[in-house]
Structure 1
Amino acid sequence: MRRPTVRIFPRSLSCRHYGTSKTWPPIISINNGTFHRHHPNACLASTTPNPPLFENLNFELPSSSSTQKHWSIIGPSNSGKTIFLQILGGKHISIPATARSYPYLETEEIGKKDHELRNPARAIKRVGFDGETGLGAQAPQSAYLSARYESRREDTDFSVLDYLLGNTELNPSKDPNGKQIDTTNLERVIKDLNLGDLLDMPVSNLSNGQTRRARIARALLGKPEVLLLDEPFMGLDPPTLLTLSPMLHRLANTLSPRLVLALRPQDPIPDWITHLIYLKGDCQIAFQGPKKDVLKELKEYVAASKAGKVELDLHMPLYSMHEVGRTLTSKGILETGVTPSTNGKRSIDQSTRETRGEMDDLSRDGYPRLDADPPSIGEPLIEMEGVSISYGSKTVLGNWKQFEDSKIQDGLWWNVRRGERWGIFGPNGSGKTTLLSLICSDHPQTYALPIKLFGRSRLPEPGQPGISIFDIQARIGHSSPEIHNHIPRSLTLRQVLENAWSETFRGVPKLDSSANDRIDACLRWFEQDLRPGVDQRQSHEHEKLQLLSIIENDRRTIRWDSLANKYIETEPRSRPSWADGILFGGLPFSAQRVALFLRAVVKQPDLVILDEAFSGMDDRVRDRCLLFLAHGESKRVSYVSHTTKKGEHQKLRSKRPRIEKSDIAKAGLVKVGGLTNDQALICISHVREEIPGSIREWICLPEANTGAPARFGRLDGPIEGDYGRWNEIWGMPQKA
C-alpha cells in the first residue's frame, strides 16, 4: 500500500534559519476537503440524509513548538462542533480522500515513540461531555439511582484508581502484549488534575466535575499526540475553571498532548488560546483565524446586522453571539461588554444595551433588575436540623458548626419554604448532589437524619405516619444529569412528559384531561426545539413567525363571545401527535435536556429541582426555557423594529427583543403558567447565565473536608442584573 506523501512546508528563501532542531510537518492537515457521513455513491446515502459537512475545509494543526497554535472551536448547539472534532480524529468520509492527512504521524519521530501512534485513531483522542454521562464503558454504572449513596459496595463499584489503570472488568484476561501505564506519568496526571483524594472513591460516587477530571486523566494516560476536548467547561464551578485552564495550558505548551477545545458561545475563552474557528449552523465555518481577528469580525457582523447594513445570515442568529468573547484568566473571568460604574458595581455597556433593547430593565426571563416588593413566603417544604452525611470516618456534608437559633449548632440547618427560590452553589465535590439526594429521599441516610419533607419524617412519629418515597417524588419535579442517565431511551417524547405523573420511570402515568392539556401545551410551545425536521437555524424573526403560526392554527378552534367578553373554544385544539413517534434516545442532546426540563415543570409540583438542567443547550433554547419557567405560555419574546438616524437623512432599522404578553394569554387559553407562590424552586448551576432570574436565596457549600461552614445569603434582584452578585456568592473578587 502506498504511504501518504509527507508534506513539509518550505521556509522563506529570503532569510536563513540556523539551528539543529527540525521543523516537523503538521500533525493534522486538511486541504480543501468536504466530508460526509456516508460515501455519496453508497446505497445508504440514497436512503439516509447525507448532507456535506464543512465543504472545502482548510485546517492545519502544527506539530512543532516553533509554529505553536492553540485552537478553539466555538459554536452554538447543533452547529457541528462535535462533528468537526470527529473529522480531525479521522471520522467521516473525506472527499477527496487525500484532502485529509496526518503528515507528522508518518515521520521518524513518531516511529521512535511508538509505532502504534501512526494510526490516527490511536494518536488522536476525543473526550466529549456534551452528550455523555458517567465514565463510559470502562466504568459500569449503578442499576438504580440511590445505589451511589449506599455504604455497601458491589463488585462493579470500581475505584477511581481502577478506572485510571483500566482495571474495570470482573474477569479480566491477561494480555501478554498489554502495555503498563507509566507510573511517573500516572502520578503527574493525578497531581495535575487534583485526583489524589479521590483514588479510593467508587466511580459511581463522583460528582459531575470530578467525573470530568477523571475522564481527562484517563485520556492523558494513553499519551495521545492530540487531545480533543468537547465542551470541557460545561458544568464546572468557577474555582475549578480557574485551576483547570492553567493545567490545560501547560499541556498545550509542552505539546504533550496538543489540545483543541470545543466551546459554547457562553463559555469563557482561555487567555492562552491563540486561534478561533466560529461555526454557523449546518456545519459551516463563519470565521477562522487568530483570536483577535475573529472576535473583531464577530463584533463587526453584529453591529452591521443590527444597523441593517448587511442581511442577517439565517445560519448566524445574533442570539448565539451575545456572550462570545469573555476571557478566562488564572485570576478570574473578564466579562465582555461590561464596564465598572462609579458606585463600584458593574453595568452593561452601550453596545450590549443596543442588543438587549427594551429588555434593559428586565432579566432574560422577565424579572425586574431590582426587587420592589418582598416575596410571599409560605409553609416549609424542607426542614433540616443539624444534618451531617458520613461514609465511615469521612464526612462529605455538614462537617461544620453553624449559628442557628441564637447559638452554635452542629451540621447543616436549612429550611425551604413555599414561594422561595433557592440556588445551591459550591465547588465540584462539595456535596450539592448529596444534598439533593436527601431532598429527593434517594439517600438511605435520609431515614436516620433530622429531616422533614413536606411536614413529615420518613419514619413514623407519634400520631403521624412516615412519608413514602412515592409521596415525596409525586410532589417534586426533578431534572438532573442523574435523571438523564437513568430515564429509558425507548420512551417516546410524549411518554417522557407523561412520566411526570408516574411513580417510576416505566410506570403507568395517572392522567386526566388537565394533564393531557398541559402536556399538549408544552409540546406545542417547544415544537421547534423538540421536533426533528423543524428548522433549528432560524433567525429571531423566523422564530416569532413560527410561534405566531402555531397560535394562529389554535385560533381556528376558538371564537370571541361578545356576551361573555372572552374567547371560548369551539372544538378541542389539535393534539401534537408528532411527539408519539419520536423516541427520547433519538433526540439530539439539547432536545433531550428540553424534554427533561418540561417533565420537571409540566405537573406544577410543590418543589421544582433543576440540577444543571440547562447545560448542553445553546443560549436561545436556554432563554426560552427560563422564560417558560417564569411565565409559562403567558409571555414570549418578540422582536420590534428600532429606527435610528445617522446624519440628516439616513435611517437604520434593527430588531430588538421585548418580553410581552403572548397571544395565547390574550385569548385566555393558557394551560401552563409559570412558577406560583405555592411552589418552591431549587437550582444548581455553575454557569451564571443558567440561573433563573427568580433565584433570591442562596447557599454556598464549602470545599469538602475543610470544616468551613456553609454560607447563606439573599439577593435583591436577579444575578443577571448585577455581576457583583455572582462574585459575592462564590467569594471571588470582582473583575473590572
Structure 2
Amino acid sequence: MPVTPYINISNAGIGYMGNNLLNNVNLQIEPGQHWAIVGASGSGKTTLLQAIAGNLQLRSGTVERNLTDYQPETTDYHQLIAFVSSRHHFRNLSNTTEFYYQQRYNSSDSEDALTVQEYLESVNHQTPVTHGWTADRAIDLMQLKPLADKQLIKLSNGETKRLMIAAALMKNPLLLLLDNPLAGLDIETRGKFSSIINLIASTGIGIVMVTSATEIPDAITHIAMIKNGSVTETDKNTFNADAFAEHEQGIFKADITPLLDHYPAQPFDYMVRMRNVTIRYGEKVILDNVNWEIKQGERWALLGHNGAGKSTLLSLINGDNPQAYANDIMLFDKKRGSGESIWDIKKKTGFISPELFQYFPAESNCLQAIESGYFDTVGLFRPSDKEKAARAMEWMKLLEIDKYAHKLLKYIPASAQRLCLLARAMIKNPALLILDEPCQGLDEHQQQYFKELVDAICAKTNISLIYVTHYTHQIPQCVDKALKLEGGRVV
C-alpha cells in the first residue's frame, strides 16, 4: 500500500528574491527517511530547505505537505516542522530588539538577555509530546546543563548551535530541518554528532539537513544532490562523496601584488603581549592567567573546544572587550589604557568571526559592506569613496564574488556574505589579521582557494595572523605556531 509522503514536491521552480535557483524539482520525503542536501555554495541548498519548510513560495509547480495526516489533532503543518537555521534570532528581555555585535562584552547590556535555562523554558512544547523530547532530555543530549545560567549573548558559536537544536527537539516535530548543523561545532561535538542524529532519528523524527558531502551522519538514508540548478536523488549507500566533491589543488592563480601596495606595514616589536590575563563575569572565570606573545610576522593557530575562551581572548585583542583595561595587555607596542582608542587598535586589525557574520546588518550593499572595513564600522555610514569602492571591487573579483557587488547582503548566499566580510577584513592591509572560523559555510573549492590566498598574502607581506578553526585541514600552510585553550587556560 502506497505511503503518503510527508512532503511531495512536483515540477517545482524554486528561487529567492528574483533568483531562480532550482528548476523542475521533484522530491518526496516519506516517513522513516532521513535526507542530506549537498551541493556547492550558492547552489540552492538552503533555498530548498526553506521551500520544504514552507517559508518560500514556489515560482512554479506544487508542494504538498501532508504532516497533519499523521497528527490530525494539529491543523497547522508549521507546528510539525522545526527549522534550525545558520543564524539565530535571539531577542532582548523586553523582546523589542535583536542583539548587537559588541553587546556580549558590555556587562550592563549583556544582562538584557535570557539565560539558556530561561530561553528553553520559553520554548513552546508541541502537545501531545509525540517523540518524548522533554526539556531535560534535550538538555542532556546537547550537554547544556553547564550553560544553564549563561546569557544567550555570551554563548559561543558552537554553544548557540547546540541550544538551537535542543529547542527544536523540544517542539517534538515530525520533521527536523537543519541548515549546516555542523558549522561551528568543535571536534568532540562533531564526533558525537552522528550518534546524536541517530538518537533523534530513532525517536521517529524525520531529518532533512544541509551538510557537506563529506560529513553525512550514519542515520541519513537518502541524498539530494544539487548541481547546475537541478536536484537529483540517490540512496546513501550508492552515494560517492569523493566523486561528487570537486578536489582541486593549486587553484589560486591571481596576482595580488597591486592589492598589497601598502605593505610592509608599520614595524612593531609585539603585536600582542599578554601577561597573566584573567577575565571573569561574576563568579565565572572565562580566561585564567593567560600569557601570550605574538611578534610581527608570526602566524598562529588559536585552538580549543566550544566555550574554551577563544572568542573572549580575541575580543581583548580586537578592542571590543572593556576588561582589557584591567589586565596587563600590550597591543602594537602600547599598553592598553595608555591613551590609545579602540579605533587606533581596529585601524591596524582586520577581523572576521561567526559573531560578526551573525550581527552584521544584512541590509548593507555588498560593495559598501566591504568598503566599511576602511573605517571599522559595521556598515558604511558615510558617502562611498570612488577610489575605496574600486579597491573593494578588486577584492570582490579576487574572491570570485564580484557578481554580487550591488546586491544587498541578505539577498545573496550565506557563503558569499562571509566572503564579503573576509574582503572587508583584508581591504585595509592590516598589520594583524584575525580570522575566526573564516571558512565556515564555504564549499571545498572556496576553502582551498581561500587557504591559498592567505598563504599568498603571508608570503608577500609581514602581516601577523591569528587563525581559528575546528578543522585542522583548513589551516593555511603559513601557520607554524599554535595556542590551545581548555577551560580558559592555555594548555
Q: Normalised by the shorter chain, which TM-score bucket?
A: 0.7 to 0.9
In 2: Cα distance, 1:184 partner to 1:128 partner: 20
> Is the alpha carbon distance of 1:189 and 1:678 closer, same or farther for their aligned partners in structure 2, counting shifts above 3 Å?
same
Is 2:222 aligned against 1:285?
Answer: no
In 1: Cα distance, 2:287 partner to 2:61 partner: 57
Match of 1:261 in 2: 209
Alignment match of 1:451 (pick from 323, 326, 329): 329
Is 2:269 aligned against 1:386?
Answer: no
Kept in 2, the 8 Å contact 1:418–1:677? The answer is no
Kept in 2, the 8 Å contact 1:80–1:281? The answer is no
> Is the alpha carbon distance of 1:180 and 1:444 closer, same or farther for their aligned partners in structure 2, counting shifts above 3 Å?
farther
Match of 1:197 in 2: 146
SS at match of 1:270: coil
In 2: Cα distance, 1:486 partner to 1:56 partner: 33
Match of 1:55 in 2: 24
SS at match of 2:294: strand
Alignment match of 2:68 (pick from 94, 97, 105): 105
Is 2:484 aligned against 1:700?
Answer: yes
Is 2:84 aligned against 1:127?
Answer: yes
Structure 1 residue 675 displacement after superposition? 5.7
SS at match of 2:150: coil
In 1: Cα distance, 2:21 partner to 2:429 partner: 43
SS at match of 1:424: strand
> Is the alpha carbon distance of 1:678 and 1:605 closer, same or farther for their aligned partners in structure 2, counting shifts above 3 Å?
same
Percent identity of paired positions between Structure 1 and Structure 2: 28
> Is the alpha carbon distance of 1:29 and 1:455 closer, same or farther for their aligned partners in structure 2, counting shifts above 3 Å?
closer
Match of 2:104 in 1: 148
SS at match of 1:92: coil
Which AA in structure 2 matches 1:157? Answer: A
In 2: Cα distance, 1:519 partner to 1:291 partner: 42
Q: Deviations over 1:52-85 (max 9, x none)?
A: 83515142322xxxxx433222212122222322
Kept in 2, the 8 Å contact 1:384–1:415? The answer is yes
Kept in 1, the 8 Å contact 2:106–2:322? The answer is yes
> Is the alpha carbon distance of 1:413 and 1:226 closer, same or farther for their aligned partners in structure 2, counting shifts above 3 Å?
same
Match of 1:482 in 2: 355
In 2: Cα distance, 1:591 partner to 1:203 partner: 27
Kept in 1, the 8 Å contact 2:224–2:234? The answer is yes
Structure 1 residue 144 displacement after superposition? 4.5
> Is the alpha carbon distance of 1:241 and 1:52 closer, same or farther for their aligned partners in structure 2, counting shifts above 3 Å?
closer
Is 2:79 aligned against 1:79?
Answer: no
Unaligned 5+ residue runs, structure 2?
A: 256-266
Match of 1:498 in 2: 371
Match of 2:239 in 1: 294
Match of 2:410 in 1: 585
In 1: Cα distance, 2:97 partner to 2:479 partner: 33
> Is the alpha carbon distance of 1:185 and 1:490 closer, same or farther for their aligned partners in structure 2, counting shifts above 3 Å?
closer
Is 2:30 aligned against 1:246?
Answer: no
In 1: Cα distance, 2:477 partner to 2:340 partner: 32
Match of 1:211 in 2: 160
> Is the alpha carbon distance of 1:49 and 1:382 closer, same or farther for their aligned partners in structure 2, counting shifts above 3 Å?
closer
In 2: Cα distance, 1:487 partner to 1:589 partner: 12
> Is the alpha carbon distance of 1:224 and 1:426 closer, same or farther for their aligned partners in structure 2, counting shifts above 3 Å?
same
Give the alignment of 1:334-349 within 5 angstroms: none
Is 2:13 aligned against 1:36?
Answer: yes
> Is the alpha carbon distance of 1:51 and 1:517 closer, same or farther for their aligned partners in structure 2, counting shifts above 3 Å?
closer
In 1: Cα distance, 2:383 partner to 2:296 partner: 26
SS at match of 2:462: coil
Alignment match of 1:529 (pick from 397, 401, 407): 401
Kept in 1, the 8 Å contact 2:301–2:467? The answer is yes
Match of 1:440 in 2: 318
After superposing the two structures, state which structure 1 stretch, 378-387 or 434-443, moved more.
378-387
After superposing the two structures, state which structure 1 stretch, 446-455 or 158-167, moved more.
158-167
Is 2:456 aligned against 1:631?
Answer: yes
Kept in 2, the 8 Å contact 1:365–1:693? The answer is no
> Is the alpha carbon distance of 1:365 and 1:439 closer, same or farther for their aligned partners in structure 2, counting shifts above 3 Å?
farther
Kept in 1, the 8 Å contact 2:33–2:207? The answer is no
Alignment match of 2:490 (pick from 695, 698, 710): 710
Match of 1:395 in 2: 285
Alignment match of 2:392 (pick from 519, 543, 549): 519
Which AA in structure 2 matches 1:498? Answer: E
Is 2:395 aligned against 1:615?
Answer: no
RMSD after superposition: 3.5
Which AA in structure 2 matches 1:276? Answer: I
Kept in 2, the 8 Å contact 1:385–1:412? The answer is yes
In 2: Cα distance, 1:586 partner to 1:100 partner: 26
Which AA in structure 2 matches 1:290? Answer: D
Which AA in structure 1 matches 2:143? Answer: N
Is 2:53 aligned against 1:89?
Answer: yes
Kept in 1, the 8 Å contact 2:273–2:330? The answer is yes
SS at match of 1:73: strand
Structure 1 residue 364 displacement after superposition? 11
Alignment match of 1:229 (pick from 164, 172, 178): 178
Structure 1 residue 512 displacement after superposition? 9.4
Which AA in structure 2 matches 1:459? Answer: G
Structure 1 residue 239 displacement after superposition? 0.7
SS at match of 1:616: coil
Which AA in structure 1 matches 2:28? Answer: F
> Is the alpha carbon distance of 1:122 and 1:167 closer, same or farther for their aligned partners in structure 2, counting shifts above 3 Å?
closer
Q: Deviations over 1:550-585 (max 9, x none)?
A: xxxxxxxxxxxxxxxxxxxxxxxxxxxxx4x43333
Q: Deviations over 1:305-339 (max 9, x none)?
A: xxxxxxxxxxxxx7x433xxxxxxxxxxxxxxxxx
Q: TM (normalized to structure 1)?
A: 0.59
Kept in 1, the 8 Å contact 2:123–2:170? The answer is no
Structure 1 residue 530 displacement after superposition? 3.4
**Larger RCO (alpha carbons 8 Å, 6+ apart):** 2
SS at match of 2:483: strand
Which AA in structure 2 matches 1:258? Answer: G
Kept in 1, the 8 Å contact 2:274–2:293? The answer is yes
In 2: Cα distance, 1:491 partner to 1:78 partner: 19
Structure 1 residue 472 displacement after superposition? 0.3
Q: Deviations over 1:328-372 (max 9, x none)?
A: xxxxxxxxxxxxxxxxxxxxxxxxxxx64xx5xx99999xxxxxx
Pairs aligned (count) = 476
> Is the alpha carbon distance of 1:434 and 1:51 closer, same or farther for their aligned partners in structure 2, counting shifts above 3 Å?
closer
Q: Deviations over 1:151-199 (max 9, x none)?
A: 335663111122112289xxxxxxxx99799998111111111111111
Kept in 2, the 8 Å contact 1:385–1:451? The answer is yes
In 1: Cα distance, 2:356 partner to 2:450 partner: 18
Match of 1:371 in 2: none
Kept in 1, the 8 Å contact 2:68–2:76? The answer is yes
SS at match of 1:292: helix
Match of 1:670 in 2: none
